[in-house]
């Protein structure tokens, strides 16, 4: 009976699937409300055929070696896989998979929720109302910014970026400008999107800039002091990709100085830490890495991770193999 170690409790549809296929599923229940410790993962992966990991866990050579000789697959419960040493897995013939696609709509919705919330000052207005400060309707009370008809810059027109662009064009008559090493002329034609060769070229054109690139050496601190200076002082930054893509201290400085108007951020440079100044600013909205957190999507991610494990253990190529 193959053993699967699940580093933290996850929604149950994938767990049931694995059990139906005859797997022994060991769930690290101790880590229900906190991250799993390295010791827990090292102990759990021993004799395991499959490891179901979470994006906050650094899956390194030590963990892989603790799983050998049985460990055949690491199924990451995320679309990003920057937490896994891919080269080391390859050297050990351990397959690595992720859960792309099933969270695209949800992350795109969350991105738009953040964009609308920061533009319409929803978090400030909520705080204001609950604090009993609403005494009279005011012609200039909590004035925000329209999203409709504005220019949306999409950094990385992949699955999520293109869905965000779709909502912008179809739902809010936005003009889309995008950059991506892979140009998509079909998308440009269908959505009237403008392609630019790199991020610098787009920044001065956009009212909203939304980041959807993976975390790579080349995208770390893609947004830094110099790039913020290229943005309009009226522009907003939305980040639902990965925290280290934005220099968080530079962002806090840019928000304080008015280099840009506002930001809405789901991911942080050193999660779960958040640069303290960001917590004191009114022109920023923070969510705790929940862009994919809906019942439907987290169940779908659970199923997909399980399907990847089953395919690998039955000797087939898993559908979401990372090459």
* Active site positions, annotated: 242, 271, 289
Which range in 88-96, 144-152, 179-187, 300-308 contacts ligand NAD by CB under 6 A? 179-187
- Interacting residue with ligand NAD among 116, 214, 283, 321 (CB under 6 A): 214
Smallest distance, Å, CB 74 to ligand NAD? Answer: 17
Smallest distance, Å, CB 133 to ligand NAD? Answer: 32
By CB under 6 A, residue 153 contacts ligand NAD: no
Q: In what order do the strands lie in the sheet with 24-27?
A: 24-27, 3-6, 50-53, 73-76, 95-97
CA distance 27 to 30: 9
By CB under 6 A, residue 244 contacts ligand NAD: no
Point out which residues pair with 263 in neighbouring strands.
237, 284
CA distance 264 to 239: 7
Q: Are 80 and 215 in contact (CB under 8 A)?
A: yes
Nearer to ligand NAD, 151 or 240 (CB): 240
Nearer to ligand NAD, 25 or 96 (CB): 96
Smallest distance, Å, CB 248 to ligand NAD? Answer: 15
Smallest distance, Å, CB 135 to ligand NAD? Answer: 38
Q: Copy the structure tokens of residue 294.
A: 């809906």
Which range in 4-12, 131-139, 178-186, 304-312 contacts ligand NAD by CB under 6 A? 178-186
By CB under 6 A, residue 209 contacts ligand NAD: no
CA distance 269 to 224: 12
Judge if the upstream peptide bond of residue 272 is cis by omega within 30 degrees of 0.
yes
Point out which residues pair with 73 in neighbouring strands.
50, 95
How many other C-beta atoms can be found within 10 angstroms of the C-beta atom of residue 160?
29
Query: Which chain residues interact with ligand NAD by CB under 6 A?
Result: 79-80, 100, 103-104, 107, 155-161, 179-182, 212-215, 218-219, 240-242, 266-267, 289, 291-292
């Amino acid at each position: 009976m193959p053993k699967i170690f699940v580093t933290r409790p996850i929604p149950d549809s994938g767990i049931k699937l694995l059990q139906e296929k005859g797997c022994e599923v060991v769930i690290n229940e101790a880590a229900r409300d906190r991250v799993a410790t390295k010791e827990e993962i090292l102990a759990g992966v021993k004799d395991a055929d499959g490891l179901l990991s979470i994006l906050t866990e650094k899956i390194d050579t030590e963990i892989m070696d603790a799983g050998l000789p049985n460990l055949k697959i690491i199924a990451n419960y995320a679309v990003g896989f920057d937490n896994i040493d891919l080269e080391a897995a390859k050297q050990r013939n351990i397959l690595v998979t992720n859960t792309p696609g099933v969270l695209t709509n949800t992350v795109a919705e969350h991105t738009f929720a953040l964009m609308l919330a920061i533009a319409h000052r929803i978090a400030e207005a909520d705080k204001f109302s609950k604090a009993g400060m609403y005494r009279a309707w005011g012609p200039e009370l909590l004035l925000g910014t329209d999203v409709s008809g504005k220019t949306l810059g999409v950094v990385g027109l992949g699955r999520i970026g293109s869905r965000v662009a779709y909502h912008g064009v179809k739902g809010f008559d936005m003009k889309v400008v995008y950059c991506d090493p892979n140009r998509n002329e079909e998308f440009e034609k269908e959505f009237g999107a403008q392609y630019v060769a790199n991020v610098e070229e787009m920044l001065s054109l956009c009212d909203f800039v939304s980041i959807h690139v993976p975390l790579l050496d080349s995208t770390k601190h893609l947004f830094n002091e110099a790039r913020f200076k290229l943005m309009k002082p009226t522009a907003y930054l939305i980040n639902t990709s990965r925290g280290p893509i934005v220099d968080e201290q530079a962002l806090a400085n840019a928000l304080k100085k008015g280099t840009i108007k506002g930001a809405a951020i789901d991911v942080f440079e050193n999660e779960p830490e958040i640069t303290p100044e960001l917590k004191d600013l009114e022109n920023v909205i923070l969510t705790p890495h929940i862009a994919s957190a809906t019942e439907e999507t987290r169940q779908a991610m659970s199923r997909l991770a399980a399907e990847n494990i089953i395919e690998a253990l039955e000797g087939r190529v898993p559908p979401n193999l990372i090459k």
